[in-house]
Amino acid sequence: MPRIVATHTVEDVKHWASKGDERVEVIGPFATEIVSYVSADGSNRVAVSANVHNMEGLMAFMQTPEAAAAMESHGVIPPVVFHNEAIMDHTASIRRLYDLINAGDIDGFGRQLADDFVERDEVPGIPPTKAGVVQYFRMLLAAFPDFQMDVEDVIASGDKAVARVRVTGTHQGEFMGIPATGKSAAVNLIDITRFGDDGLAREHWGVADQLALMQQLGVIPAGSPA
């Protein structure tokens, strides 16, 4: 996702600095790793740096009365100038996908997928599209309400990020034709995700230990071949 720096002047630097926690709350829905800076030259120039995962939403928010009120409260003197550092942190991008799924925010997860997203690890009956992937995770969370994806390792290179993930959950609802078993399962997963310059996921390949999952749910006896 892009690293954005917003610079501007303020009426009182100490007052503005004291509002750091409020700034995180205001910008938090659109960005992560929010850091405030005060100019070292003693001037009233300040800056806010953040990894913005929803630039469109942030720009729309900046036009609202709520944003105007927040800036007035913080003593901001317009204009606010935005700079794109053009640093695409795909490690942060892929981790955010898991964070949103773990929080049960499938709508937010869907917003991190590009409209032309393609799922290469196709699931029978599920379209290999953005809408299909969102549908799949809704089904998954309905069947495994305590579903969690714990990231154990991430390697990023170019426009792709690879994650090694430990997936856990308790089977409490029907999933892919399998009635609820009430059993817990833990399997390993390797994800490869390709991102665009906007930080949105555009393509995904996945390798999961499906045999281990079926054995733990009792669908296939332990020790049986695939």
- Phi then psi for residue 186, to 5 deg, are -140, 120
Domains of the chain by range and CATH? 3-84 (3.30.70.100), 90-216 (3.10.450.50)
Cβ–Cβ contacts within 10 Å for residue 57, how many?
A: 14
Q: How confident is the model at residue 202 (pLDDT cuts 50, 70, 90)?
A: very high
Q: How many Å apart are CA 214 and CA 153, to the nearest integer? A: 25
> Which of 44-53, 119-128, 138-147, 212-221 holds the top average pLDDT?
138-147
Give the model's pLDDT for residue 9.
94
For residue range 28-61, list pLDDT tens digits in order.
999 998 988 887 778 899 999 898 889 889 989 9
Give the model's pLDDT for residue 43.
86
Please give the model's pTM, rounded to 2 decimal places. 0.61
List the Cα angle 218/135/156 in 5-degree steps: 85
Tokens 């997928």 found at:
113
Q: If DSSP codes are grouped into helix, strand and coil, which group holds residue 43? A: coil
For residue range 136-146, list pLDDT tens digits in order.
999 999 999 99
Q: How many Å apart are CA 109 and CA 74, to the nearest integer? A: 31
Is it the case that residue 225 has pLDDT exceeding 70?
Answer: no
Report the pLDDT averaged over residues 77-95. 79
Give the model's pLDDT for residue 29.
95
Q: How many Å apart are CA 143 and CA 137, to the nearest integer? A: 10
Mean per-residue pLDDT over the chain, rounded = 90
For residue range 159-169, list pLDDT tens digits in order.
899 999 999 99
Q: How confident is the model at residue 88 (pLDDT cuts 50, 70, 90)?
A: low
Report the pLDDT averaged over residues 199-221. 89
Give the model's pLDDT for residue 220.
83
Cite the beta strand spans of 43-159 per DSSP E: 45-52, 76-84, 113-119, 148-157
Is it the case that residue 86 has pLDDT exceeding 70?
Answer: no
Four-CA torsion 81, 108, 135, 124, nearest 10 degrees: 70
Give the model's pLDDT for residue 89.
64
Q: In sequence order, which residues have a C-beta less than 8 Å from that of residue 87 and are 6 or more positions away?
A: 2, 3
Q: How confident is the model at residue 176 (pLDDT cuts 50, 70, 90)?
A: confident
Four-CA torsion 190, 194, 195, 200, nearest 10 degrees: -70
Q: Give the rounded percent of residues in the chain with a pLDDT score beyond 70.
A: 94
Q: If DSSP codes are grouped into helix, strand and coil, which group holds residue 40? A: coil
| Closest among 188, 167, 169, 176 to 219, alpha carbons compared | 176
Give the model's pLDDT for residue 224.
53
